[in-house]
C-alpha cells in the first residue's frame, strides 16, 4: 500500500487501519503483537502525516507557480502542543482513525495521550506563534515559520515538598514521526573572529562555523488542501570547524570546541519576563536568524534571478526582539555578498521587516553588551553602528532634536557598559511596529517608544492577539464543539468565529442554558478525575472552579489570589454556618528556574493547599489544587472545566494575555483588571458579564508617582492585615515561620495590597451570580457569543492587510 493509493478518495477506516499496521511493521519494524501504545501512536502519526504530505507539497507548488509573496515568521519559540489530534481534526480524519483503532481493539483518545507535548516555548509569546501558524495555514496565507529545534524544551516541573523541581524535557526520546529531516538543507553559521576593515566592504574572518540543518513540520490548514511548513533548525555537531585550530592541525581541541558548540540548539531558556544576557542565548538568536535569512534568500533566488526584487517577494516578521539580528544579518549579506551600497540595502530592509512588541517591562527588554557582540559578531556590530549613525545623522538631527533626545534614541546605550538596545534597532528598521492589545499599543506609543512615535507616528499600530478555535474548542472541548454545531447549524463557526454571535439570540433559553451547563459539568468531572488520579485530591465537580493558570510572575499576582483564598478561609472559620459557595481554587504554572520570588509563590500555594485541604472545619467549602507541570495539553484539560478565569495582573503590565480569550471562549466568566486584552473582552461581552476590579493604569501611575506605600493599605484594612500577618508569621508554614515574611513584606511593586479590597468585593459578586445558575449560564453564553473577535484568524487578517500586504492563495489558484 503506497501513500498515493489512499489519498484519493479520502481514506475510510479500513484504509487507515491498513496504513497504521503497515507503518508499524515496515517503518518501525515492530510486530503488532508486541506493539506498545507508544508504538501505535508513532505508526498512526506516520499514517496521518502521509495524508497531509500531498497538501504540503502541492501548497509549495502553488506558491512557486503563482510566485506568491510570502511572510516568514521568525520566533525563538513555537509552543505547538501535541500535533496528532489537531492534525486529524484539521484534516477531518478523526472519525476514520477512531474507527480504525476500534477495529484494532484500541482507543484513539488513549493512544493520543502517548504523544509528548513539544514545549519549544515558555508561554504566551510561543503559544501565540503556534495559534498564528494554524490561522496562516487555514487562511491559505503563504507563510513559513522559522524556529529552533531545541533538544530540550521547557523543563518538566515536579512538586516535591511543595517546591518546584526542574527536570529535563526529553520530548524527542520516543522519536518524532512528525518532522521531516532535511539533511541536505543546511547553511553555515559563523561566529567570532576578526573584522578586516582595510577593504570595502570589510572582511569578516570568523573563528568558528557550524551548520544549521533543517527539520520541517507540516502545519495543516483546517479543511485540508493547504499545509505550510514550520522549519526548525538544529546545530549539526559533525560540521563544526574551529577554523584556526583545525588549520593548525590541532585536531583534539577542534573536537573539544565542537562539543561545546553542539549546545547551541540544546536548550530553551526558561525565562519569559527577564532578558538574561548570556552569550549562549545570543548565539542561539544569531543561529536562528542567520540560517533563516540565508534560506529566505535562497528561496527567493529560485523564483527570481535578482536580489533586488526581495522586498516585493518577502515579508519578515520579528516575534519580539529575539530574532532582531536578522536585520544586520540581511544587511551583511546584501552588502558583503551582493555588493549593494549601504543605502540601498537599508531601504530594502525597511520594506521587509516588521516587529511585534510583547512587553513594556524594562527587565524583559533585550540589551546586549557591545563587548560581547564585538567578540561574537564583529561585522554585525559594525553594521549596527552604521545603521545608528545613518539614523542619527539623516533622520534625527535634520529635525533639530537636541543631544538629550539623541542619547535617548541611540541604538547604543552609553554608560559603564555600552549596550545595544535591540528594541530600538527593531523599531528603526521596521516599517510597522505593533503591540498586542489596544491598551498595550497605546502605552507603547506613550511610554516605551514615545520618542520614536514623535519621529515616525505612522509606524506604530495595534493588532490585538487572538487564539485558534480549532485547538481551543475543537481539540480541547469536543462536547462544546458539538453543542455549537447543533445550535449554529453546522461547523462554519470554526473558520468564521463571528458566527458565534448567533448565540446571542439563544442566551435566555433555559434548555440551552442547561445543555451548556451539562457540557461544562462533564469537563469538570474529567478534570476532577485527573486530579484524583494524579494528585490523590478529591474535588467536588459541583463547586465553583476558580482557575489561574499561567507563568508565575509577581506582575501576574498569583500571591494576590492567595490573599483572597486565605481571606475566604478566615471568613468561613468566623462564620461557619453562613451559606458559603463551595469553591475549588486551581492554579498551575512554572517559575523561571532563577526567579526566587516566583518559586516562593509556588511553595506558598502548595503550603496553603496542604493546610486548608486538611482542615476539617472548612469541609469542602474550599479546596486548593496546584496542578504540576502546566503545559499546552494540561491547558486543554483545564480551560474547558473552568467557571471563573483569573486575569488579575496589575493594570499596565500584562501586554495582552491570551488565556483570558481561551477561557471566555469556553464559557468561563472573567474576574480581571483593566489590563491587556481584558479591556477589549469587557467591551465585547458587556460590563454585566465580566467582573472588573482594581485600579486603572492612570490610578496605578498616580500611586507610583506619589511614592507607593503598601502599609497605607495594610494598616487601613484589618482583614487584609490579618491575612498578611498570618502568612508572614507562619500560619501556613509552622515548621519555618518566616518562610513567607519577605514575600509579604516587600515593596509590593505590583500593588497587590492596593487592589485587595476591590478584588475581594468582586469575588463576592462572583459568588452571588453563581448561586443564580440561570443568570450565570446566561452570562457564560453571552461571553462565548461575543468572542468572535478574538479568533487568531482575525488577528492574521489584520497582519496581512495592515502590515505584511500579503494575499492568500485564491480559490482559482487552488488545484481542482
Kindly state the smallest distance separating residue 439's Cβ from ligand 26Q, in Å.
11
**Residues 268 and 153 sit within 8 Å (Cβ to Cβ):** yes
> How far is C-alpha 123 from the chain's CA centre?
4
For residue 204, the minimal CB distance to ligand 26Q (Å) is 25
- Write each residue from 427 to 446 as x if it is in contact with ligand 26Q (CB under 6 A), else as -, in one continuous string: ---------x----------
**Of 3-11, 273-281, 333-341, 749-757: span binding ligand 26Q (CB under 6 A):** 273-281
Nearer to ligand 26Q, 436 or 762 (CB): 436
Closest to 356 in 3D by CA, of 285, 449, 457, 261: 449
- Pick the closest to residue 673 from 652, 658, 688 (CA basis): 652
Contact with ligand 26Q (CB under 6 A) among 465, 629, 673, 726? 465
Q: Three-state DSSP class for 172? A: coil
Please list every residue from 308 through 337 that binds ligand 26Q, using CB under 6 A. Answer: 322
Q: Report helix, strand or coil for 615.
A: coil
- Residue (275 or 809) nearer to ligand 26Q, CB: 275
- Minimum CB separation of residue 174 from ligand 26Q in Å reads 27
359 binds ligand 26Q (CB under 6 A): yes
Which residue is associated with the grid cell 557598559?
Answer: 417
CB of 271 to ligand 26Q, least distance (A): 4
CB 348 within 8 A of CB 310: yes
Looking at the Cβ atoms of 126 and 710, the one nearer to ligand 26Q is 126
What are residue 322's phi and psi, to 5 degrees? -55, -40
Sign of CA dihedral 746, 751, 753, 759: negative
Burial class from Cβ neighbours inside 10 Å (0-12, 13-18, 19+) for residue 423 reads: buried
Q: How far is the CB of 435 from ligand 26Q (least distance, A)?
A: 9
Taking every pair of C-alpha atoms in the chain, what is the biggest distance, in angstroms? 86
Displacement of CA 450 from its chain's centroid (Å): 27
With contacts defined by CB under 6 A, name the span among 219-227, 248-256, 267-275, 701-709 that binds ligand 26Q: 267-275
- Which of these is catalytic: 520, 556, 567, 653? 556
Smallest gap from Cβ 799 to ligand 26Q, in A, equals: 13
551 is catalytic: yes
Q: Which among 192-200, 271-279, 715-723, 798-806 is the span making contact with ligand 26Q, rule CB under 6 A?
A: 271-279
Question: Looking at 358, 470, 583, 603, which residue binds ligand 26Q (CB under 6 A)?
Answer: 358
| CA nearest neighbour of 422 among 289, 309, 302 | 289
Cβ closest to ligand 26Q, residue 273 vs residue 497: 273
Q: Which is nearer to ligand 26Q, 113 or 749 (CB)?
A: 749
Comparison of 656 and 689: residue with beta carbon closer to ligand 26Q: 656
Neighbours of 211 (CB within 10 A): 18
Distance, in Å, from the CA atom of 243 to the CA atom of 707, rounded to the nearest integer, reads: 57
- Centre a 10 Å sphere on the Cβ of residue 250 and count the other Cβ atoms it contains: 14
Query: 273 or 692, CB closer to ligand 26Q?
Result: 273
d(CA 583, CA 561): 13
| Per-position x/- string for 279-298, each x denoting binding to ligand 26Q as judged by CB under 6 A, each - no binding | --x-----------------
Query: Contacts by 107-112 with C-beta closer than 8 Å and gap 24+?
Result: 110/37, 111/37, 111/40, 111/41, 111/44, 112/41, 112/82, 112/84, 112/85
Site for ligand 26Q in 109-128 (CB under 6 A): 122-125, 128
Which residues are CB-contacts of 340 (< 8 A; sequence separation ≥ 6)? 307, 334, 348
Residue nearest ligand 26Q, Cβ-based: 124
138 binds ligand 26Q (CB under 6 A): no
Nearer to ligand 26Q, 82 or 358 (CB): 358
Of these residues, 59, 601, 658, 670, which one is catalytic?
658
Q: Kindly tell me which residue out of 216, 295, 366, 793 binds ligand 26Q, with binding defined by CB under 6 A.
A: 366
Q: Identify which of 314, 333, 317 has the alpha carbon closest to the alpha carbon of residue 429.
A: 317
Rounded CA-CA distance 205/377 in Å is: 10
Known catalytic membership, residue 556 = yes
Half-sphere exposure of 806 (CA within 13 A, CB side): 31
What is the distance between the alpha carbons of residues 20 and 49, in angstroms, rounded to a whole number?
11
Whether residue 658 lies in the annotated active site: yes
Query: Is 275 an interacting residue with respect to ligand 26Q (CB under 6 A)?
Result: yes
Is 269 an interacting residue with respect to ligand 26Q (CB under 6 A)?
yes
Choose the binding region for ligand 26Q from 39-47, 272-280, 400-408, 721-729 (rule: CB under 6 A): 272-280
| Residue 351 contacts residue 400 (beta carbons within 8 Å) | no
> Are 2 and 15 a contacting pair, CB within 8 Å?
no
Instruction: Determine whether 260 is an active site residue.
Output: no
- The active-site residue, picked from 379, 551, 553, 778, is 551
User: 775 catalytic, yes or no?
Assistant: no
Q: Cβ of residue 630: shortest distance to ligand 26Q, in angstroms?
A: 14
Nearer of residues 42 and 292 to ligand 26Q, judged by Cβ: 292
Shortest distance, position 467 Cβ to ligand 26Q, whole Å: 10
How many residues contact ligand 26Q, by CB under 6 A?
25
User: Residue 367 — φ and ψ, nearest 5°?
Assistant: -135, 130
Q: Which residue in 165, 259, 276, 525 binds ligand 26Q (CB under 6 A)?
A: 276
Nearer Cβ to ligand 26Q (90/122): 122
Catalytic site residue 231? no
Question: Catalytic pick from 23, 68, 317, 358?
Answer: 358
Mark the segment that binds ligand 26Q (CB under 6 A) among 21-29, 264-272, 568-576, 710-718.
264-272
State how far the Cα of 271 lies from the Cα of 273, in Å rounded to an integer: 6
Residue number with CB closer to ligand 26Q (278 or 407): 278
Residues 6+ apart with CB under 8 A from 299: 70
Residues composing the chain: 816
Residue span 68-107 as binding mask against ligand 26Q, x where in contact by CB under 6 A, dash where not = ----------------------------------------
Kindly write out the interface string for residues 640-679 of this chain, putting x where it contacts ligand 26Q by CB under 6 A and - elsewhere: --------------xxxxx-----------------x---
Query: What does the per-residue mask of binding to ligand 26Q show for 565-594, with x meaning CB under 6 A?
Result: ------------------------------
User: What DSSP element (H or E) covers 301?
Assistant: helix 279-303
Q: How far is CA 171 from CA 148, 214, 266, 476, 758, in A?
A: 14, 18, 12, 21, 43
Question: Which CB, 121 or 469, lies closer to ligand 26Q?
Answer: 121
Shortest spacing between CB 677 and ligand 26Q, in angstroms? 7
Minimum separation from the CB atom of position 675 to ligand 26Q (A): 9
CB of 368 within 8 A of CB of 278?
A: no
Q: Which is nearer to ligand 26Q, 90 or 271 (CB)?
A: 271
What DSSP line would sit under 699-763, residue for residue? Answer: HHHHHHHT---THHHHTT-HHHHHHHHHHHTTTT-TTSTTTTHHHHSS--TT-HHHHHHHHHHHH
Rounded to a whole number of angstroms, the minimum distance from the CB of residue 131 to ligand 26Q is: 9
CB of 322 to ligand 26Q, least distance (A): 6
- For the bound state, the minimum distance from the C-beta of residue 523 to ligand 26Q, rounded and expressed in Å, comes to 24
Pairing of strands 669-672, 143-148: unpaired
Q: Catalytic positions, please? A: 358, 550-551, 556, 658, 662
Residues of this chain that bind ligand 26Q (CB under 6 A): 122-125, 128, 269, 271-273, 275-276, 281, 322, 358-359, 364, 366, 436, 465, 654-658, 676
Amino acid at each position: 500500500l503506497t501513500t498515493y493509493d489512499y489519498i484519493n478518495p479520502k481514506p475510510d477506516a479500513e484504509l487507515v487501519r491498513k496504513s497504521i499496521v503497515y507503518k508499524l511493521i515496515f517503518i518501525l519494524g515492530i510486530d503488532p503483537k508486541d506493539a506498545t501504545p507508544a508504538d501505535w501512536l508513532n505508526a498512526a502519526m506516520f499514517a496521518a502525516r502521509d495524508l497531509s504530505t500531498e497538501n504540503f507539497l502541492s501548497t509549495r507548488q502553488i506558491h512557486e507557480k503563482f510566485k506568491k509573496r510570502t511572510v516568514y515568521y521568525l520566533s525563538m519559540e513555537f509552543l505547538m502542543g501535541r500535533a496528532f489530534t489537531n492534525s486529524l481534526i484539521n484534516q477531518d480524519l478523526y472519525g476514520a482513525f477512531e474507527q480504525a483503532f476500534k477495529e484494532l481493539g484500541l482507543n484513539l483518545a488513549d493512544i493520543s495521550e502517548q504523544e509528548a507535548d513539544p514545549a519549544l516555548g515558555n508561554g504566551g509569546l510561543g503559544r501565540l506563534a503556534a495559534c498564528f501558524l494554524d490561522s496562516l495555514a487555514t487562511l491559505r496565507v503563504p507563510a513559513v515559520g522559522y524556529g529552533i529545534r531545541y533538544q530540550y524544551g521547557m523543563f518538566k516541573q515536579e512538586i516535591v515538598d511543595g517546591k518546584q523541581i526542574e527536570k529535563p524535557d526529553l520530548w524527542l526520546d520516543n522519536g518524532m514521526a512528525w518532522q521531516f529531516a532535511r539533511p541536505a538543507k543546511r547553511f553555515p553559521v559563523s561566529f567570532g573572529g576578526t573584522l578586516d576593515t582595510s577593504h570595502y566592504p570589510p572582511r569578516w574572518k570568523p573563528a568558528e562555523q557550524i551548520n544549521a540543518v533543517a527539520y520541517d513540520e507540516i502545519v495543516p490548514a483546517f479543511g485540508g488542501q493547504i499545509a505550510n511548513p514550520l522549519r526548525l533548525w538544529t546545530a549539526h555537531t559533525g560540521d563544526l570547524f574551529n577554523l584556526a585550530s583545525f588549520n593548525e592541525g590541532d585536531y583534539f581541541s577542534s573536537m573539544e570546541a565542537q562539543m561545546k558548540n553542539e549546545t547551541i540548539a540544546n536548550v530553551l531558556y526558561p525565562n519569559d519576563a527577564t532578558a538574561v544576557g548570556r552569550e549562549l542565548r545570543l548565539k542561539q538568536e544569531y543561529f536562528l536568524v542567520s540560517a533563516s535569512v540565508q534560506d529566505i534568500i535562497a528561496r527567493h533566488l529560485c523564483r527570481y534571478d535578482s536580489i533586488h526584487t526581495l522586498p516585493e517577494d518577502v515579508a519578515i516578521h520579528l516575534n519580539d526582539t529575539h530574532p532582531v539580528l536578522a536585520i544586520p544579518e540581511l544587511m551583511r549579506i546584501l552588502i558583503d555578498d551582493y555588493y549593494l551600497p549601504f543605502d540601498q540595502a537599508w531601504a530594502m530592509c525597511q520594506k521587509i521587516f516588521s516587529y511585534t512588541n510583547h512587553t513594556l517591562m524594562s527587565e524583559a527588554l533585550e540589551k546586549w553588551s557591545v563587548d560581547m557582540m564585538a567578540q561574537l559578531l564583529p561585522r554585525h556590530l559594525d553594521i549596527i553602528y552604521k545603521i545608528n549613525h545613518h539614523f542619527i545623522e539623516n533622520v534625527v538631527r535634520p529635525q533639530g532634536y537636541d543631544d538629550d533626545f539623541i542619547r535617548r534614541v541611540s541604538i547604543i546605550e552609553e554608560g559603564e557598559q555600552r549596550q545595544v538596545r535591540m528594541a530600538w534597532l527593531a523599531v528603526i528598521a521596521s516599517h510597522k511596529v505593533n503591540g498586542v492589545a489596544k491598551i498595550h499599543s497605546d502605552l507603547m506609543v506613550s511610554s516605551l517608544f514615545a520618542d520614536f512615535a514623535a519621529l515616525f507616528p505612522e509606524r506604530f499600530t495595534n493588532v490585538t492577539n487572538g487564539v485558534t478555535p480549532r485547538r481551543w474548542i475543537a481539540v480541547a472541548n469536543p462536547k462544546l464543539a458539538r453543542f455549537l454545531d447543533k445550535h449554529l447549524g453546522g461547523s462554519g463557526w470554526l473558520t468564521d468565529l463571528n458566527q458565534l454571535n448567533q448565540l446571542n439570540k439563544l442566551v435566555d433559553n433555559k434548555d440551552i442554558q442547561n445543555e451548556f451547563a451539562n457540557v461544562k459539568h462533564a469537563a469538570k468531572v474529567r478534570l476532577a478525575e485527573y486530579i484524583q488520579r494524579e494528585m490523590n485530591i478529591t474535588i467536588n465537580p459541583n463547586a465553583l472552579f476558580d482557575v489561574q493558570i499561567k507563568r508565575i510572575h509577581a506582575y501576574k499576582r498569583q500571591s494576590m489570589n492567595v490573599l483572597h483564598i486565605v481571606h475566604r478561609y478566615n471568613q468561613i472559620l468566623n462564620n461557619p454556618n453562613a451559606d458559603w459557595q463551595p469553591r475549588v481554587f486551581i492554579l498551575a504554572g512554572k517559575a523561571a528556574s532563577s526567579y526566587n520570588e516566583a518559586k516562593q509563590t509556588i511553595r506558598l500555594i502548595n503550603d496553603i493547599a496542604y493546610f486548608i485541604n486538611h482542615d476539617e472545619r472548612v469541609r469542602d467549602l474550599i479546596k486548593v489544587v496546584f496542578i504540576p507541570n502546566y503545559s499546552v495539553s494540561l491547558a486543554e484539560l483545564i480551560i474547558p472545566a473552568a467557571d471563573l478565569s483569573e486575569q488579575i495582573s496589575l493594570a499596565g503590565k500584562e501586554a495582552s494575555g491570551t488565556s483570558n480569550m481561551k477561557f471566555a471562549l469556553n464559557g468561563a466568566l472573567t474576574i480581571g483588571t483593566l489590563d491587556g486584552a481584558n479591556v477589549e473582552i469587557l467591551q465585547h461581552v458587556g460590563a454585566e458579564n465580566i467582573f472588573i476590579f482594581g485600579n486603572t493604569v492612570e490610578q496605578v501611575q498616580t500611586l507610583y508617582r506619589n511614592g507607593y506605600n503598601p502599609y497605607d493599605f495594610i494598616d487601613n484594612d484589618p482583614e487584609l492585615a490579618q491575612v498578611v500577618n498570618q502568612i508572614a508569621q507562619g500560619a501556613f508554614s509552622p515548621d519555618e515561620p518566616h518562610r513567607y515574611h519577605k514575600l509579604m513584606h516587600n515593596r509590593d511593586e505590583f500593588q497587590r495590597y492596593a487592589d485587595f479590597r476591590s478584588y475581594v468585593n468582586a469575588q463576592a459578586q462572583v459568588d452571588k451570580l453563581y448561586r443564580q445558575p440561570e443568570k450565570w449560564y446566561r452570562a457564560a453564553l453571552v461571553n462565548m457569543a461575543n468572542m468572535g473577535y478574538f479568533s487568531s484568524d482575525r488577528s492574521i487578517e489584520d497582519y496581512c492587510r495592515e502590515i505584511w500586504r500579503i494575499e492568500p492563495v485564491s480559490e482559482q489558484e487552488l488545484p481542482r
